[in-house]
Amino acid sequence: MINLKECILYRDFEHGEILEKMTELINGYEQEDPSLKEKGSLLFDCASGLVENAGLYGFSGNLWHCYLTFLLVNHENAFSTASEIRGAVKGSINELALCDFEIFKQLYDFDLTVLDRFFGVSCCQVLCSFTNTGTNSKMYNSRIRDRICEMSVTLARASTAQEFMDDMVQFYKDFGVGKLGLHKAFRVAHDENDKVVIQPITRIAHVQLEDLVGYEIPKQKLIENTEAFVQGRKANNCLLFGDAGTGKSSSIKGILNRYYDQGLRIIEVYKHQFQDLNDVIAQIKNRNYKFIIYMDDLSFEEFEIEYKYLKAVIEGGLEKKPDNILIYATSNRRHLVREKSSDKLEIMDDNDLHSSDTVQEKLSLVYRFGVRIYFGAPNKKEFQNIVRVLAKRYGVTMPDDELMLEANKWELSHGGLTGRTAQQFIDYILGRGK
Would you state the pLDDT for residue 164? 97
pLDDT above 60 (res 399): yes
- Widest distance between CA atoms in the chain: 91
18-22, 112-116, 312-316: which range is least confident on average? 312-316
Please compute the mean of the pLDDT values over residues 215-230 and round it to a whole number.
Answer: 94
pLDDT tens for each residue of 163-206? 999 999 999 988 889 988 888 899 999 988 899 999 998 777 77
Q: In whole angstroms, what separates CA 135 from the centre of its chain? A: 20
Which region among 55-64, 261-270, 333-342, 374-383 has the lowest average model confidence (pLDDT)?
A: 333-342
Is pLDDT of 353 > 50? no
**Per-residue confidence at 339, pLDDT binned at 50, 70, 90?**
low
Q: pLDDT value at position 349? A: 54
Q: What is the pLDDT of residue 230?
A: 94
The pLDDT of residue 362 is above 80: no
Query: Does the pLDDT of residue 324 top 70, yes or no?
Result: yes
Q: Quickly state the pLDDT bin for 352 (edges 50, 70, 90).
A: low
pLDDT at residue 393 is higher than 80: yes
Q: What is the mean pLDDT of residues 124-151?
A: 82
CA dist 359 and 346 (Å) reads 8
* pLDDT band, residue 354 (cuts 50/70/90): very low
pLDDT at residue number 307 = 66
3-state secondary structure the chain: CCCHHHCCCCCCCCCCHHHHHHHHHHHHHHCCCCCHHHHHHHHHHHHHHHHHHHHHHCCCECHHHHHHHHHHHHCCCHHHHHHHHHCCCCCCHHHHHHHHHHHHHHHHHCCCHHHHHHHCCCHHHHHCCECCCCCCCCCCCHHHHHHHHHHHHHHHHCCCHHHHHHHHHHHHHHHCCHHHHHCCEEEEEECCCCCEEEEEECCCCCCCHHHCCCCHHHHHHHHHHHHHHHCCCCCCCEEEEECCCCCHHHHHHHHHHHHHHHCEEEEECCHHHHHHHHHHHHHHCCCCCEEEEEECCCCECCCCCHHHHHHHHHCCCCCCCCCCEEEEEEECCCCCECCCHHHHHCCCECCECCHHHHHHHHHCCHHHCCEEEEECCCCHHHHHHHHHHHHHHCCCCCCHHHHHHHHHHHHHHCCCCCHHHHHHHHHHHHHCCC
Tell me what the pLDDT averaged over the chain comes to.
Answer: 87
| Mean pLDDT value across residues 41-49 | 95
Name which residue leads in pLDDT, 405 or 207: 405
Predicted confidence (pLDDT) at residue 321 exceeds the cutoff of 80: no
**pLDDT at residue 8 tops 50:** yes
Residue 214's pLDDT is what? 83
Q: Count CB neighbours of 181 within 10 A.
A: 23
